[in-house]
Amino acid sequence: MEKGISQAVIRRMPRYYRYLGELLENGVERISSNDLSNLMKVTASQIRQDLNNFGGFGQQGYGYNVKFLYDEIGKIMGLNCRHDIIVIGAGNLGLALTNYAKFEKLGFVITALFDINPKLKGTKVRGIPVYMMDELEKYCKNHSIDIAALTIPKDSATEVAQKLVDLGIRAIWNFAHVDLDVGEDVIVENVHLSDSLMQLSYNIVKNTANE
């Protein structure tokens, strides 16, 4: 069904999901596309266009059923199933991700961390064990892992990513500042907070220039 849907639409879906989740929490059962448009500051036609990619979900004169739409977007985004994650690199960033327990509410469960620093061997983060990298192969054989988060320095990221792929990992959440070339059958999602900061900086400069 989702074949051919642009990445731009897919990237907007989490925002719909977040807003609908908040509406649900506030006991709102249905919402018109105009009200959703005002709330999200997106045109009603954009909302209709986006959701039509997946078959609509709206009803003429009724608007959207919040719970139904929330569940459907959840299904589309694969949030109706659990995703087990291992974190490679138990440093500042790896710990920050692991300590954020709310990812679990979305079905993303961190089951283990891996590092090369022997001081971390046998430690736990929020009850989640930190293993050494030489234990990775055995762990991968005995556990089903959906995603590996890469929070290590870029110098070793390429080599470690390849190792993960060789061990059967098919999705990488990459925080290392390097473009990974791991083949087309592996899904890589890059997260670079600095890109977002640069975007912010650009807009500050643009605003200042217009003053």
Candidates 40, 77, 188, 191: give the one binding ligand NAI (CB under 6 A).
Answer: 191
Nearer to ligand NAI by Cβ, of 31 and 120: the residue is 120
Q: Whole-number minimum distance, CB 177 to ligand NAI, in Å?
A: 5
Q: x/- binding map, residues 77-116, to ligand NAI, per CB under 6 A?
A: -----------xxxxxxx-------------------xxx
SS3 assignment, position 28: coil
CB 136 within 8 A of CB 102: no
Cα 202 versus chain centre, distance: 25
User: Which CB atom, from 13 or from 97, has the smaller least distance to ligand NAI?
Assistant: 97
Sole binder of ligand NAI in the list 82, 124, 138, 154 (CB under 6 A) = 154
Show contacts with ligand NAI in window 45-84 (CB under 6 A): none
Which is nearer to ligand NAI, 33 or 98 (by Cβ)?
Answer: 98
Report in angstroms how near the CB of residue 62 gets to ligand NAI at its nearest: 42
User: How many whole angstroms separate alpha carbon 131 and alpha carbon 90?
Assistant: 9
118-147: burial string, b at 16+ Cβ within 10 Å, e else: eebeeeebeebebbebeebeebbeeeebbb
Minimum CB–partner distance for residue 113 and ligand NAI (Å): 9
Cβ 60 to ligand NAI shortest distance, Å: 44
User: Shortest Cβ distance from residue 119 to ligand NAI (Å)?
Assistant: 9
Backbone φ/ψ region at 168: left (φ over 0), alpha (ψ -120 to 50), beta: left
The secondary structure of 94-121 as a DSSP string is HHHHHH-GGGGGGTEEEEEEEES-GGGT
- The secondary structure of residue 184, as a DSSP letter, is T
To the nearest 5 percent, what fractions of the chain are helix, strand and coil?
Answer: 50, 20, 30
Q: Which residues bind ligand NAI (CB under 6 A)?
A: 88-94, 114-117, 133, 151-154, 156, 160, 175-177, 191-194
